[in-house]
């Protein structure tokens, strides 16, 4: 009885699934190949955008294509499982930056670095990169002796933190539930980034340009270069004209797989 009910629920869920044609096509195409184009497919996005629903659809498609898991035992056990508790959240309630660089004095023989200097919303995956860049900066500072070491290091670290900090904090302000001041520039950038995300769904060049900024390979102004702005405009006009995303080139850029 329980399993029949579960089957009916699964069927009902599937009938309600709409859209996401590009994502489904991408997955089906990968399933159809002997060696898929990618080893890991990440689904990333804010809560409520449909990641779990899309994953369920992927699992169903894989089963139907006879490409389910080689050992589906764990999947069979958990696929219809009910969570025992509420989800647990990680313990970083907000981005946090401590301005040791603004202190007039700092105890000799001590330093602060990594998350203790600035910790970011982990969803942007920047913390380890920033800590590594700070380590390289500390190496440079030590090469010049230990005179005023903390002062020199915090100055260098501040420059390293500025960009990822503004990216993380600014991007979080896109969500209305996040408290914080939004000046004209923040509102403009977040409006532009939402348009960029839209265009990036079907334009790999825009997608890669954005990921390079998020991964600290390029600076934020690189996504407002004329070439990228033109693509963002074109992508949005094209979508406005009523075209389907699925009809376009795939969003997975060769550089990323």
Ligand X SMILES: Cc1cc2nc3c(=O)[nH]c(=O)nc-3n(C[C@H](O)[C@H](O)[C@H](O)COP(=O)(O)OP(=O)(O)OC[C@H]3O[C@@H](n4cnc5c(N)ncnc54)[C@H](O)[C@@H]3O)c2cc1C
Q: Which is nearer to ligand X, 34 or 86 (CB)?
A: 86
133: tokens are: 């860049």
The candidate with the shortest Cα–Cα distance to 46, out of 213, 208, 175, is 175
Distance of CA 155 to the CA centre of its chain: 28
The candidate with the shortest Cα–Cα distance to 163, out of 133, 187, 143, is 133
Number of residues counted as binding ligand X (CB under 6 A): 12
Site for ligand X contains 36 (CB under 6 A): no
Helices 51-64, 2-16: axis angle to 10 degrees equals 110
Q: Which is nearer to ligand X, 127 or 158 (CB)?
A: 127
- Footprint of ligand X on residues 108-137 (CB under 6 A)? 114-116, 122, 125-129, 131
CB of 56 to ligand X, least distance (A): 24
Which positions from 68 to 97 touch ligand X by CB under 6 A, shown as an x/- string?
A: ----------------------x-x-----
Chain residues binding ligand X by CB under 6 A are 90, 92, 114-116, 122, 125-129, 131
């Amino acid at each position: 009885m329980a399993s029949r009910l579960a089957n009916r629920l699964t069927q009902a869920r599937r009938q309600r699934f709409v859209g996401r044609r590009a994502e489904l096509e991408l997955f089906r195409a990968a399933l159809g190949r002997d060696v898929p184009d990618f080893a890991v497919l990440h689904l990333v996005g804010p809560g409520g955008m449909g990641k779990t629903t899309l994953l369920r659809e992927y699992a169903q498609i894989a089963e139907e294509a006879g490409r389910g898991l080689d050992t589906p035992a764990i999947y069979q056990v958990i696929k219809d499982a009910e969570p025992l508790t509420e989800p647990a959240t990680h313990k970083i309630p907000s981005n946090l930056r401590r301005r040791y660089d603004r202190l007039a004095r700092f105890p000799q023989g001590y330093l602060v670095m990594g998350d203790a200097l600035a910790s970011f919303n982990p969803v942007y995956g920047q913390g380890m990169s920033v800590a590594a860049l700070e380590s390289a900066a500390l190496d440079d500072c030590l090469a010049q002796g230990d005179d005023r070491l903390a002062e020199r290091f915090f100055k260098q670290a501040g420059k390293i933190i500025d960009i990822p900090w503004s990216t993380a904090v600014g991007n979080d302000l896109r969500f209305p539930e996040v408290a914080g001041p939004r000046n004209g520039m923040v509102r403009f950038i977040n409006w532009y980034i939402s348009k960029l995300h839209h265009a990036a769904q079907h334009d790999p060049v825009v997608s890669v340009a954005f990921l390079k900024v998020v991964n600290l390979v390029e600076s934020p102004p690189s996504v407002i270069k004329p070439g990228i702005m033109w693509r963002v405009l074109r992508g949005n006009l094209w979508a406005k004209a009523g075209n389907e995303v699925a009809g376009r080139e795939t969003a997975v850029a060769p550089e990323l797989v």
